Amino acid sequence: MSARLLKVVNSAYFGLAKPVADVARAGSLLGLDRIMALVLGQGLFSGGEAPQVRGFSLEALWSHSIATAAAAHRIAIEEKLDKELVAAAFLAGMLHDIGKLVLRHGCAR
């Protein structure tokens, strides 16, 4: 999880000027709400052995979900929403394609 957290905070989605190598610093930059959403997403996107479905990439889905979460977060901030709604926007972006995971497991059977 630490490696994934560092990968996310250093991604282009957060646009930091220089790379972050310390998990504590990454946590302070992201904030508790976004870390909790990332942990939830990590659990959902890495639920054991993945059934192989042609044309489906779990890594691509994870990247897309992170990008959507970051965009939703930025929009919520620009709209001057309160802290709870900003956190909810990030989580909603993170989970907006959760049905694809359900379909993936159903198609592999």
- Name the domain count of the chain: 1
Say whether pLDDT at 48 is over 80. Answer: no
Overall average pLDDT of the 67-85 stretch: 93
Give Cα separations from 101 to 28, 43, 56, 76, 86 (angstroms): 30, 12, 10, 26, 25
pLDDT for 78 equals 96
| Cβ atoms < 10 Å from Cβ of 35 | 19
If one compares 85 and 26, the residue with the highest pLDDT of the two is 85
Higher-scoring residue by pLDDT: 36, 75: 75
- pLDDT band of residue 50 (cuts 50, 70, 90) is low
C-alpha–C-alpha distance, residues 87 and 91, integer Å: 6
Find the range with the poorest average confidence among 35-44, 58-67, 86-95. Answer: 35-44
What does 13-33 look like in DSSP terms, one character per residue? Answer: TT--SS----HHHHHHHH-HH
pTM over 0.75? The answer is: no
Q: Which residue from 20, 30, 3, 26 is spatially nearest to 94, judged by alpha carbons?
A: 30
pLDDT digits (tens, 9 = 90+) for 19-41: 888 888 888 877 877 777 777 77
Domain encompassing residue 43: 2-107
Share of the chain above pLDDT 90, in %: 17
Question: By the 8 A CB rule, do 18 and 73 touch?
Answer: no
